[in-house]
Amino acid sequence: MRSATFYNGFDYLPGQTIGRPQDFVPANIRWDDVPDFPSMRYGNVDADKFMITRGDGQHVGTPDQLLNRLETSFYFIAKNWTDADRALTDLARNNPETDTVNKDLGVTCEINGRCEKFFTGPNSGRTGPIAISLPPGYALEENRVRDVRYPVIYVLHGYGMDPRDLEGVAIITNNFMNSPELSYARRLPKFIIVYVDGRCRLDKSGKPECVRGTFWQDSPWGGPQMDTWFSEVMDYVDKNYRTMGPTEIDVTD
Do residues 24 and 34 make contact, with C-beta atoms less than 8 angstroms apart?
Answer: no
Number of domains in the chain: 2
Q: What is the pLDDT of residues 54-70, one digit of tens each?
A: 888 777 788 888 888 88
* CA–CA distance, 119 with 197 (Å, rounded to integer): 10
* CA–CA distance, 233 with 176 (Å, rounded to integer): 27
The answer to whether residue 249 is domain-embedded is no
Q: What is the pLDDT of residues 125-167, one digit of tens each?
A: 888 899 999 999 999 999 999 999 999 999 887 666 666 666 6
Domain with 113 in it: 92-240
How does residue 202 score in pLDDT terms, banded at 50, 70 and 90?
A: confident
Q: Based on the fold, state whether residues 182 and 62 are members of the same structural domain.
A: no
What's the half-sphere exposure (Cβ side, CA atoms, 13 Å) at 30? 7
* Residues belonging to the chain: 253
Q: Based on the fold, state whether residues 17 and 124 are members of the same structural domain.
A: no
Note the pTM of the prediction, 2 decimals: 0.86
DSSP string, 103-142: TTT-HHHHHHTEEEEEEE-TTT--EEEEEEE--TTTTBHH
* E-strand stretches of the chain: 4-7, 37-40, 114-120, 127-133, 152-156, 192-196
Given 43, 78, 113, which residue is the final one in a domain? 78
* CA–CA distance, 116 with 180 (Å, rounded to integer): 29
Return the amino acid letter for 41.
R
Q: Based on the fold, state whether residues 223 and 201 are members of the same structural domain.
A: yes
Q: Based on the fold, state whether residues 149 and 217 are members of the same structural domain.
A: yes
Q: Based on the fold, state whether residues 236 and 133 are members of the same structural domain.
A: yes
Closest CA to 164 of 188, 136, 130, 138: 130
